[in-house]
Structure 1
Amino acid sequence: MTGCTNIGLTQEEPKPPKAFIEITNETSETVLGTYCWSYNGMSECADAPGPIELLEGRDPIEVNPGEKITFVMEYEPKPNKIHLLQISNNEESEVKLSNNHFLAPSQKGVYYYSYGAWWMDEKEENVSNGDAHYAFAIEVK
């Protein structure tokens, strides 16, 4: 369970920053899901459905097997804790990230992802200054 506090960061935006994925120099926006964010001394938490429900009606991004997928967030400070969850055929698995990127699966199909980002306090252990979860889907052709 991650808590939200307004200690430390003073964000300039009322919601978490936008996150994008970049595939072969093409950028696609992710969909903001659940988050806790502090703005002007106020904290707001919003709950959202999981990635599959959140992306209902949206076309997945087409990729080639093994293609490099990179996360891009034009915001400072960058989150200092991240987690990527892949959902396929009702099975969830953690995906390891290396330098903010991962490789698309080699098997054809549609894959849903939840990208979690936390801005953890540098001084107080286990204290989050904000967190956000982003959803996107790819289709390996």
Structure 2
Amino acid sequence: MLVGCSSQHTVLNKPPNVLIEIGKETYETKLGTYCWNNENNGVCVDTVGPIELLKGTEPIHVKSGDQIKFVMNYEPKPNEFSVTQMNNSEQIEISIKDNQITAPTEKGTYYYSYSVWWMDDHLENVSNGDAFYAFVIQVK
């Protein structure tokens, strides 16, 4: 159930959806582990990691070097971000700039965890919510 409130942002029972945009196409991500505070009613949900979460999901086909943009239609936007890329047994942190990352140049299947935090503007080290979103791409 969505309810409007006076601060001009939507109150949700869980973190907002995140889409990824590649060229003119948009794709859904899968919400994983999160902690969310809705009108002083906090909830945390723990899920499996990105690879297990995406088991059976068809990878998004991309070209080497494609730009992958994260789109969230929600206010306020999270103010901290992190992207982790997993391929075979390797796991590396990926640089994110202007809500975008670049697809790898080498062919293969890559799993991603897009982690976001809504950190409090007034209280240091206090999170008002966090979530990770998973998606998988295949570089042709």
Same fold (TM over 0.5): yes
Q: Confirm whether residue 56 of structure 1 aligns to residue 55 of structure 2.
A: yes
Distance, in Å, in 2 between the alignment partners of 1:102 and 1:40 is 33
Identical residues among aligned pairs (%): 54
Return the alpha-carbon distance in structure 1 between the equivalents of residues 26 and 10 of structure 2: 24
Match for residue 128 of structure 1? 127
Deviation at 1:40, TM superposition (A): 2.5
**Deviation, structure 1 residue 121:** 0.3
For the Cα contact (< 8 Å) 2:10–2:75, is it kept in 1?
no
Unaligned runs of 5+ in 1: 1-9
Hey, what does 2:105 align to over in structure 1? 106
Q: Aligned equivalents of 1:50 and 1:90: distance in 2?
A: 14
| Unaligned 5+ runs, structure 2 | 1-8
RMSD over aligned CA atoms reads 1.0
User: Deviation of residue 39 (structure 1)?
Assistant: 1.1
What amino acid sits opposite 1:74 in the alignment?
A: N
TM-score calculated relative to the size of structure 2: 0.92
**Structure 1 stretches of at least 4 aligned residues deviating more than 4 Å after TM superposition:** none
Distance apart, 1:120 and its partner CA: 0.1
Structure 1 Cα separation of the partners of residues 119 and 72 of structure 2: 16
Q: Which residue of 2 aligns with 1:7?
A: none
- Structure 2 matches for 1:33-48, cutoff 5 A? 33-48=32-47
**What is the number of equivalent residue pairs in this alignment?**
132
TM-score normalised by the chain length of structure 1: 0.92
Match of 2:117 in 1: 118
Indicate the SS of the match to 1:106: coil
Partner of 1:92: 91
Tell me, yes or no, if structure 1 residue 19 matches structure 2 residue 18: yes
**What's the secondary structure of 2:110's corresponding residue?**
strand
Q: Kindly indicate whether structure 1 or structure 2 has the higher relative contact order, using CA contacts under 8 Å at least 6 residues apart.
A: 1
For residues 20 and 11 of structure 1, the distance between their equivalents in structure 2, rounded to whole angstroms, comes to 18
Question: What is the CA deviation profile of residues 15-57 of structure 1, one whole-angstrom value per residue up to 9, with x for unaligned ones?
Answer: 1000010001100010000000011220000000000000000
* Secondary structure of the corresponding residue to residue 71 of structure 1: strand
1:74 alignment counterpart:
73
